[in-house]
Amino acid sequence: MKTIHLGVFEVAGPQVGGTLSWPHPRSSSARFHELDHWVHVAKVLDAGGFDFLFFADGYGYPSVAGDLPETAARGGINFPSLDPAVLIPALARETERLGFVVTSSTGLDHPVQTARRFASLDHFTGGRVGWNIVTGASQNTVAELFGHRTMQAHDARYDQADEYLDLALALWQDSWEDDAVRADASAGVYADRDKLHRVEFEGEHFRSSGYFTVDPSPQRVPVLFQAGTSGRGREYAARNAECVFVQGTTVAQTAANVADIRARAAAWGRDPDSIRILVGLTVTVRPTRAEAEQLRAEFEALQTDETVATLYAGNTGIDLLALDPTRDLTQLLDGADAGPVGQMGQSNIDRFLPKDGSKAPTVRQILDDLKGKGTRGFQVWGSPADVADDLERLMDEVDLDGFLIEPIFDPADLEDVATLLVPELRRRGRMPAAPIAAPTLRERLIGSEDYFTRRAQAAESVPQGS
Ligand SMILES: Cc1cc2nc3c(=O)[nH]c(=O)nc-3n(C[C@H](O)[C@H](O)[C@H](O)COP(=O)(O)O)c2cc1C
């Protein structure tokens, strides 16, 4: 029986999950500018036995028909967002064990900058930091904002991300020997020059020659997370990641993605069970099922067609509210100029145009189907026993290692998970009776001190099938 690892998914903005709930009196997530808000969240998680606090992040924002839609601004949907990395040292100081995972894309900063930022965070947290590697969402608005004239193709972004990490690892691992730092005040010697080495890196996308300016941090390498579940994304995770964040769609589809990541990891010569795979989960847990249902109903009552349509347009370029609600999506082909349909993303169109002969849903039915889902993964609600049953079933059916809790009413939902659900999971032996007293995030999550020796393995083993 596997132990459940628990993280919490946050953004340094008013609203998590592409849904609307921050205006509800139970939520105080609109206080995201205040350090005290985040310190409270971190303390709840630290005391509650959670493993880490995870921040999604990016420079982009939703765009519909080439601009920021009114709904996104009004609802605080994926806009605005602060830089979460700068929060972390303050939160580490106020907590004892909690890990902190920050998302940073491989598309913008040079690897030297990212390596230095995470090594510094690892020092300031005493070895409790992780990096969630993504190739970057909202590519269109990010490209505009940074003045890029072209967007890199999807799979090429992952090729570049492989190289990006290779250089970051070289900086973290090869520049300083373990005993290079002497910090010997009596001898007046800080570092031993003989134990410092130049990194020479010549790649297709990145070049670097010189010394890494941060001396080795407690973990040397931040715990490497990855999010992005396309085929190329799963391959990236299999080669590089220690923890993977997959989003829950259906049980069958998520289980297939998890199995595929583990199989690909085995092809890279890795132990497939050493990868921690966590899925996004929205939990409403209250002392009784009736109370949880009441709260869930209050959440659902806040959701609007406009919020759903904004997110859908961001994924597909299609404005559902401009269509005939009584007809299905084939109406997009009516006009002489169907526009750039499908160029931004096909999967969210195909899922509503069944190929098996069954009737396609109308636009009205699509809006109802997507309402309250946003970018959230699995959603469960009920008493502590109900929810613990659901989590145990998902762990086993999907072959998971844990969950990233996506709060609705923040931080009240997290307090409920800590005080109602965690004790129930402990009673069932699914979480340690007391928080693990591991010195680093890696030891806590993976049970090992070092980042796995992927580069040595990669040099020796060519993945099967390639
Ligand atoms: C579960 C999940 C979480 C993600 N979180 C972020 C994020 O915080 N910031 C970001 O820029 N992109 C994020 N991404 C998006 C990826 O960077 C982006 O979609 C990219 O194209 C790779 O995803 P793909 O392999 O699914 O195509 C996330 C993707 C997934 C599936």
For the chain, the structural domain boundaries read 5-298+376-460, 304-370
Closest C-alpha among 58, 443, 465 to residue 238: 465
Please report which confidence band the pLDDT of residue 310 belongs to, taking 50, 70 and 90 as the band edges.
confident
125 CB less than 6 Å from ligand 1? Answer: no
Q: Specify the pLDDT at position 466.
A: 41
Q: Is the pLDDT of residue 458 over 80?
A: no
Question: Which residue did the predictor score with more confidence, 334 or 310?
Answer: 310
Question: What distance in Å separates the CA atoms of residue 49 and residue 423, rounded to the nearest whole number?
Answer: 10
Q: Is the pLDDT of residue 317 over 80?
A: no
Q: Quick one: 5-298+376-460 is in which CATH superfamily?
A: Luciferase-like domain (3.20.20.30)
The amino acid sitting at 428 is: R
Atom of ligand 1 nearest to the CA of 55: 8
Top mutation candidate among 16, 79, 114, 134 for ligand 1, by most atoms within 8 Å of CB: 134
- Ligand 1, atom 22, lies closest to the CA of 228
CA dihedral sign, ordered 49, 425, 7, 231 = positive
96-100, 218-222, 341-345, range with the lowest pLDDT: 341-345
Q: Is the pLDDT of residue 343 over 90?
A: no
DSSP string, 399-422: T-SEEEE--SSTBHHHHHIIIIIH
229 CB less than 6 Å from ligand 1? Answer: yes
Q: Which contacts (CB < 8 Å, 24+ apart) does range 342-351 have? A: 342/316, 343/317, 344/140, 344/315, 344/316, 344/317, 345/315, 345/316, 345/317, 348/312, 348/315, 348/316, 349/316, 349/318
Q: Is the pLDDT of residue 197 over 60?
A: yes
Top mutation candidate among 135, 140, 157, 311 for ligand 1, by most atoms within 8 Å of CB: 135
375 CB less than 6 Å from ligand 1? Answer: no
Q: Which residues are annotated as a binding site for FMN?
A: 57, 103, 154, 158, 230
Burial 39-54 (b: 16+ CB within 10 A, else e): bbbbbbbbbbbbbbbb
Q: Find residue 105's DSSP bridge partners.
A: 134
Please report which confidence band the pLDDT of residue 364 belongs to, taking 50, 70 and 90 as the band edges.
very high
The amino acid sitting at 14 is: P
Question: What distance in Å separates the CA atoms of residue 360 and residue 379, rounded to the nearest whole number?
Answer: 25
Atom of ligand 1 nearest to the CA of 280: 1
pLDDT tens for 229-239 read 889 999 999 99
- Ligand 1, atom 7, lies closest to the CA of 56
pLDDT tens for 102-148 read 999 999 999 999 999 999 999 999 999 999 999 988 888 898 999 99
Q: What's the CA-to-centroid distance between 134 and ligand 1, angstroms?
A: 6
Q: Is the pLDDT of residue 258 over 70?
A: yes
- Ligand 1, atom 23, lies closest to the CA of 228
The mean pLDDT of the chain is 92
Atom of ligand 1 nearest to the CA of 231: 25
Q: Is the pLDDT of residue 83 over 60?
A: yes
Q: Is the pLDDT of residue 182 over 50?
A: yes
Q: Is the pLDDT of residue 223 over 60?
A: yes
Q: Specify the pLDDT at position 145.
A: 94
Please report which confidence band the pLDDT of residue 345 belongs to, taking 50, 70 and 90 as the band edges.
low
Asked if 181 contacts 99 with a C-beta cutoff of 8 angstroms, the reply is no
Question: Which residue did the predictor score with more confidence, 172 or 311?
Answer: 172
DSSP string, 159-213: HHHHHHHHHHHHHHHHSB-TT-EEEETTTTEEE-GGGB--EEEE-SS-EEEE--S
Please report which confidence band the pLDDT of residue 316 belongs to, taking 50, 70 and 90 as the band edges.
confident
Q: Specify the pLDDT at position 247.
A: 87
Atom of ligand 1 nearest to the CA of 233: 25
226 CB less than 6 Å from ligand 1? Answer: no
Q: Which two tokens stand for residue 59?
A: 């420079």
141 CB less than 6 Å from ligand 1? Answer: no
Strand runs labelled E in 256-392: 276-285, 378-382
> What average pLDDT does the segment 50-59 reach?
97
152 CB less than 6 Å from ligand 1? Answer: no
57 CB less than 6 Å from ligand 1? Answer: yes
Q: Specify the pLDDT at position 135.
A: 93
Q: Is the pLDDT of residue 312 over 90?
A: no
The amino acid sitting at 85 is: A
Please report which confidence band the pLDDT of residue 464 belongs to, taking 50, 70 and 90 as the band edges.
very low
Q: Is the pLDDT of residue 211 over 70?
A: yes
Closest C-alpha among 381, 405, 380, 390 to residue 279: 405
161-165, 201-205, 247-251, 320-324, range with the lowest pLDDT: 247-251
CA dihedral sign, ordered 355, 360, 365, 367 = positive
CA dist 352 → 65, 255, 346 (Å): 21, 22, 11
Q: Is the pLDDT of residue 265 over 70?
A: yes
58 CB less than 6 Å from ligand 1? Answer: yes
The amino acid sitting at 337 is: D
Q: Is the pLDDT of residue 435 over 90?
A: no
Question: Which residue did the predictor score with more confidence, 347 or 83?
Answer: 83
Q: What's the CA-to-centroid distance between 432 and ligand 1, angstroms?
A: 31
Question: Which residue did the predictor score with more confidence, 335 or 230?
Answer: 230
Q: What's the CA-to-centroid distance between 8 and ligand 1, angstroms?
A: 17
- Ligand 1, atom 2, lies closest to the CA of 227
317 CB less than 6 Å from ligand 1? Answer: no
78 CB less than 6 Å from ligand 1? Answer: no
Q: Which two tokens stand for residue 171?
A: 């900086």
142 CB less than 6 Å from ligand 1? Answer: no
Burial 377-397 (b: 16+ CB within 10 A, else e): bbbbbbbbebbbebbbebbee
257 CB less than 6 Å from ligand 1? Answer: no
130 CB less than 6 Å from ligand 1? Answer: no
Closest C-alpha among 55, 137, 59 to residue 311: 137
Closest C-alpha among 229, 299, 287, 220 to residue 258: 229
Asked if 326 contacts 362 with a C-beta cutoff of 8 angstroms, the reply is yes
